[in-house]
Structure 1
Amino acid sequence: MSSTKIKPMFKFLPQGALIQDFEVAGCNIVLGFPEAALYQTPSSSYFGETIGRTNNRIANASIADVNGKTYQLARNDGHHSLHGGSEGWGKKHFKGPLFVTRHGHESIHFSLVSPNGDEGYPGTVECRVWYTCGAENGQTILDIEYEVELTGDECGETIVGLTNHSYFNLDPNAPTIAGTQVTLTTDQRLDTDADGIPTGDISKHPAVPSSGIPFTLGKDSPSFDDCFVMDKPSQSFLLDTRLQSLRKLVSLYQPNTDLHLEVLSTEPAFQLYTGEGINVPALSTADGQLVSPKGPRAGVAIEPGRYVDAQRKEWRSQCLLEKGRLWGARHKYRAWKGPLGSVD
């Protein structure tokens, strides 16, 4: 399985429709591996993957009252299901890349058919991913569009929710993300129990000074594995958010390299994870090339998406996909090199 290089800045792999390279000013700012086989290792930490059939955790690995039934999902995070199960979409081989025109721009397209019963989820669905790469105003741009359709006739509804799980390090020669300045658009997060399952409450995160105020990541702290909320609960959420305006979620700046990254999305929430669980040993490629190990806090993941455990009844409109409807979302990454304040 070979990667596809788009322009000079990006590489993608059919496995997981994943982002392998994201180059800014000659630096690859995403964690990854030089060949596809290494992404299949148990310690690969979801590097660059398209996460599905659902993002984040499903409590007790169970969804109830869908098609009038309860479905048991794969348990791969203690009692819970994480990132689609034991072999989520990030480990699946997508069809593609196909070079297409999307919204008037040159894009590449990946697709995946997930059969009924895949990791316990009901219904056959088709996932479609479009990447549109470019540059404007001195910035390197990557747009991602997701679409999921229930195409099978096995049932009338299912649960879905996608995101991308790239880890970013704006100082690629550094072993950790220490020194990275972070600015969040919101300081509100879902309160969770010790397993990362929401309690139902939303509160200000104690480690975030305030929305819009930058703070700096150190070698060991502050530590995040939290779902930050852009849209608080209401009676109804949009299933397809693509017609919503893109909103800035997170800004990163690394003074050592003068590299910047902004993450935007149409989604109601995002997971911020500082990578404490990264534990990739030294590996070798098929031709004997040594790949250096990567340890805790080697990168920070920003995962726009739906709420954690969005399948619960009060949030279910975020993720309940019925026959004849589409689930959709958009993300945008903007990256550039320059001193702080160099690009608005």
Structure 2
Amino acid sequence: MICVIDKFNDGIDVLSMKNEKMEVVVSNFGCTIMKVLMKDKEGNVDDVVLGYDDFHQYQTRDAYLGALVGRVANRIKKGCFELNHKQYSLAINNGPNHLHGGIKGFSYQIFDYEIKDNETIEFYYLSKDGEEGYPGNLDLKVTYQLKDDTLSVRYQATTDQDTLINITNHSYFNLSGKKENIYNHQLMVKADCFACIDKDGLPTGEFRDVKDTAFDFNEFALIGERVEQSDEQLLLGKGFDHPFIFTTKENQVILEHLASGRRLTVSTTLPGAQIYTANYLDGRLGKYGHHYFERDAVCIETQNLPDAIHIEKNPTTILKKGEIYDVITSYKFEVIK
């Protein structure tokens, strides 16, 4: 069932999506996933995403805990791009680059919503022409559906002008329920290559084979055994903060925590994901009195290639007038004995 469990000023609501398997708590502020409550192999329930007790922190802090990120996720070089022979300038909010949609991207917007049935919420937002510097009125619908042990997130959008779009969810996962960091989490990513980054986290346009590197997660590997290696790219990112390019069409990323018996399987129609090991969490106070430090979670940000407008010959992040942006990512939370 779905119900409103809290209300704040300006039309901000908090909603619970609950069934026999699990509960997901979300808000129409940034379509934020605030809690994911699931059992472990002993039947104990824990919250497996990071977040805040004080809702004001979602509105004022960076790090995008649980938020929908857009109009364009990740970085755009120097906050500018050319589209249809016209130059556009965006906010510079991450070193020399534009990040996650700008100063007030979708993460900080209040969405209209409708509870469609006992499993489904539809969120709506009209991003007006010129918002954060992007062209076109972008009409966005986001559908959250909780069925059994799987949360599916579908993003659909149209525009009245050619524009850029690259939306993701920025949840920070810790399957131990934040009882430890992610060093003992096993990760599998079905990808043969990853995109290199510079010191500011921006993809350089170079792609490297994962074979014989710390980036090869085609078989399960402990994050803690990989993240501290002296690979030049890991040093630049202060850990993993890189786009991985998938080789399969479903179930591309699996995260496991054997001590609790929890497994997360991420399946998406998108071609890749930014794998980020929370390298810049700064000790801030989060839920349940926990302080959040680097390596306390891992983000699996499914998306098209970051800065595709500057890297790809035919950028996958361009949405043309008359076309429909329609992508789905699902998160399956299960217990393995």
Range of TM-score over shorter length:
0.7 to 0.9
Q: Is the 8 A contact 2:17 2:119 kept in 1?
A: no
* Cα distance in 1, alignment partners of residues 157 and 289 from structure 2: 35
Aligned-residue offset at 1:201? 2.4
The answer for unaligned runs of 5 or more in structure 1 is 232-244, 284-288, 340-344
Aligned-residue offset at 1:301? 0.1
User: Which of 249, 252, 260 lines up with 2:252 in the alignment?
Assistant: 249
Change in CA separation of 1:298 and 1:167 when aligned onto 2, cut-off 3 Å: same
TM-score, reference length from structure 2? 0.85
* Cα distance in 2, alignment partners of residues 72 and 145 from structure 1: 29
2:36 maps to a residue whose letter is F
Change in CA separation of 1:35 and 1:6 when aligned onto 2, cut-off 3 Å: farther
The answer for unaligned runs of 5 or more in structure 2 is 1-7, 40-44, 230-238
Corresponding position of 1:197: 202
Aligned-residue offset at 1:246? 5.1
* Cα distance in 2, alignment partners of residues 259 and 290 from structure 1: 20
TM-score, reference length from structure 1? 0.83
Say whether 1:258 aligns with 2:261: yes
Aligned-residue offset at 1:315? 4.5
Secondary structure, in 3 states, of the residue corresponding to 1:38? helix
* Cα distance in 2, alignment partners of residues 58 and 142 from structure 1: 29
Say whether 1:58 aligns with 2:76: yes
* Cα distance in 2, alignment partners of residues 174 and 226 from structure 1: 26
2:141 maps to a residue whose letter is R
Residue correspondence of structure 1 range 89-104 to structure 2 within 5 A: 89-96=106-113, 98-100=114-116
CA RMSD for the aligned pairs?
2.1
Say whether 1:5 aligns with 2:10: no
* Cα distance in 2, alignment partners of residues 3 and 331 from structure 1: 22
User: Which of 283, 289, 292 lines up with 2:290 in the alignment?
Assistant: 292
Corresponding position of 1:114: 127
Residue correspondence of structure 1 range 107-146 to structure 2 within 5 A: 107-135=120-148, 140-146=149-155
Q: Is the 8 A contact 2:119 2:147 kept in 1?
A: no
Q: Is the 8 A contact 2:156 2:327 kept in 1?
A: yes
* Cα distance in 2, alignment partners of residues 258 and 89 from structure 1: 34
Change in CA separation of 1:316 and 1:58 when aligned onto 2, cut-off 3 Å: farther
Corresponding pairs, count? 306
Q: Is the 8 A contact 1:13 1:36 kept in 2?
A: no
* CA deviation map 1:65-92 (0-9, x unaligned): x142100100011111011112211111
Q: Percent identity?
A: 28
* Cα distance in 2, alignment partners of residues 312 and 185 from structure 1: 25
Corresponding position of 2:100: 83
* Cα distance in 1, alignment partners of residues 336 and 16 from structure 2: 25
Q: Which moved more, 1:270-279 or 1:310-319?
A: 310-319
